[in-house]
């Protein structure tokens, strides 16, 4: 039986693709053959049944050897250490796609290996309007995002991508990674690659709005 739930808040994705992430548009990563990086969310409004979720943060590191739709992905959930046992269980059930939510159901179908979740301190700084973010999980993840820069003028470049039928987000501010380092079970090290900043609201039936 599906439990009613909602997660609304600030969402960050940073990966090894070029800015605007062709996985989102063409369905194939570039310039690398595979896809790796992180995603995370600070929940401003949320619940899972009677369990409240607002104020909590979750993140995940991931790796796919090829295009996401080809599967064989590896992912490790990172859950806010402040979460109670009930909140931890609720977040893991949502992230695992066990109670609907198009984005999470798709992830569950293309991830072959879910590594043991880590219950950890997570620093989550997020400013969508300025295209700046910084997420730190000590010993596991450090990623910082900054605005795109026009090479000829050194001015900040604003790029907004809309995906009217998107399942991860419907609109994102495009940024670039200053750093994108995975130092835990899933390792990567990139800079100058893609970063998405978005506000999202996920429910059992998919994105709201």
Q: What pTM value is reported for the model?
A: 0.96
Q: Distance between CA atoms of 141 and 186, rounded to whole angstroms? A: 9
Contacts of 82 (CB under 8 A, 6+ apart): 55, 56
pLDDT by position in tens, the chain (length 209): 789 999 999 999 999 999 999 999 999 999 999 999 999 999 999 999 999 999 999 999 999 999 999 999 999 999 999 999 999 999 999 999 999 999 999 999 999 999 999 999 999 999 999 999 999 999 999 999 999 999 999 999 999 999 999 999 999 999 999 999 999 999 999 999 999 999 999 999 999 96
- Residue 6 near residue 205, CB atoms below 8 Å: no
The C-alpha atoms of residue 77 and residue 81 are separated, in whole angstroms, by 12
Q: Domain ranges for the chain, please list them.
A: 5-207
The CATH topology of domain 5-207 is: AttH-like fold (2.40.370)
Only one residue has tokens 């969310």, namely 41
């Amino acid at each position: 039986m599906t439990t009613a739930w909602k997660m609304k808040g600030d969402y960050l994705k940073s990966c090894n693709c070029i800015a605007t992430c062709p996985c989102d548009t063409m369905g194939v990563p570039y310039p690398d053959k595979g896809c790796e990086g992180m995603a995370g969310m600070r929940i401003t409004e949320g619940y899972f049944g009677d369990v409240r979720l607002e104020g909590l943060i979750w993140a995940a590191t991931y790796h796919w050897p090829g295009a996401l739709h080809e599967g064989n992905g590896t992912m490790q959930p990172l859950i806010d250490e402040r979460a109670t046992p009930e909140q931890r269980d609720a977040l893991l059930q949502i992230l695992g796609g066990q109670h609907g939510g198009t984005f999470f159901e798709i992830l569950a179908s293309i991830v072959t290996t879910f590594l043991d979740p880590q219950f950890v301190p997570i620093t989550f700084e997020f400013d969508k309007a300025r295209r700046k973010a910084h997420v730190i999980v000590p010993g596991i993840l450090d990623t910082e995002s900054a605005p795109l820069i026009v090479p000829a003028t050194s001015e900040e470049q604003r790029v907004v991508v809309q995906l009217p039928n998107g399942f991860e987000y419907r609109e994102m501010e495009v940024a670039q990674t200053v750093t994108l380092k995975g130092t835990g079970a899933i390792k990567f090290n990139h800079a100058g690659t893609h970063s998405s900043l978005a506000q999202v609201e996920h429910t059992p039936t998919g994105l709201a709005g």
